[in-house]
Chain A
Amino acid sequence: ELKVEQNPLFLSMQEGKNYTIYCNYSTTSDRLYWYRQDPGKSLESLFVLLSNGAVKQEGRLMASLDTKARLSTLHITAAVHDLSATYFCAVDDLMDSNYQLIWGAGTKLIIKP
């Protein structure tokens, strides 16, 4: 059974700093997704990573995937308050006949001025 772990689960940081959120998963997969959720809102897709070494960037966020290490990172550069949200990673379980999407617990990010 595929498990997905995110860390940290909670992160409070200052504006202007850099930080990284980690997403580890337990079995083979080469499909990983990052989502953002603002308080009281739904989930919004940020990045789709489909192969080993994939890197995607949007503004101050950059996501990467290392399928050999079963690890994805979401890097925040020079954080701004608007990036405060909860970030989820999810992985396609390729061993499941329905390719079930398995979710991490989420990382709540608070960026202070």
Chain B
Amino acid sequence: NAGVTQTPKFQVLKTGQSMTLQCAQDMNHEYMSWYRQDPGMGLRLIHYSVGAGITDQGEVPNGYNVSRSTTEDFPLRLLSAAPSQTSVYFCASRTRISTSGVGNEQYFGPGTRLTVT
């Protein structure tokens, strides 16, 4: 299994440009999430999805859109890039949470380093 893959690894955008960060997983995980991590900081949740066709906002959703048309893919769209969106973006996935006492660790992609000038 490739696990969670993200493209591109690096990207430089000018203010106002738009782009899509790609994320795919081959583990048949229901849950997928996008996080941003700023230098020296922890993770902040942008958007997440609990299954195909279902998405919801996280802590910092403004300026980003997502969609989930398939179980495997969860792209993140930057609508009009701003310097404040310079960050490292991580996609992650995990199986559906159950109440049976079985934990579900989250698997992370390698990240996309985005710089907005």
Contact = CB atoms under 8 A, between A and B. Distances in A.
A16 B109 CA distance: 33
A109 interface: no
B109 A42 contact: yes
Q: Which of A43, A45, A51, A106 has the most CB of B within 10 A?
A: A43
Given A42-B90, A50-B101, A51-B101, A33 B106 contact: yes
Q: Which of B48, B104, B111 has the most CB of A within 10 A?
A: B104
Contact of B97 (A43, A98, A106): A98
A43 B108 contact: yes
Interface string A68-102: 00000000000000000000101010000011110
B97 A92 contact: yes
What is the interface residue range for chain A against chain B?
20 to 34
Interface residues of B, number: 25
B103 interface: yes
Contact of A42 (B50, B94, B103, B110): B110
A105 B37 CA distance: 11
A45 B105 contact: yes
A106 B38 CA distance: 13
A44 B104 CA distance: 14
A58 B17 CA distance: 46
A45 B107 contact: yes
Contacts of A106: 41-42
B103 A48 contact: yes
Interface string B80-110: 0000000000101010010001111111111
30 contacts: A30-B101, A33-B103, A33-B106, A41-B111, A42-B108, A42-B109, A43-B43, A43-B90, A43-B92, A44-B108, A45-B105, A48-B103, A49-B103, A50-B101, A88-B42, A90-B106, A92-B104, A98-B31, A98-B48, A98-B50, A98-B56, A99-B97, A100-B45, A100-B48, A101-B33, A101-B106, A103-B42, A103-B43, A104-B42, A106-B41
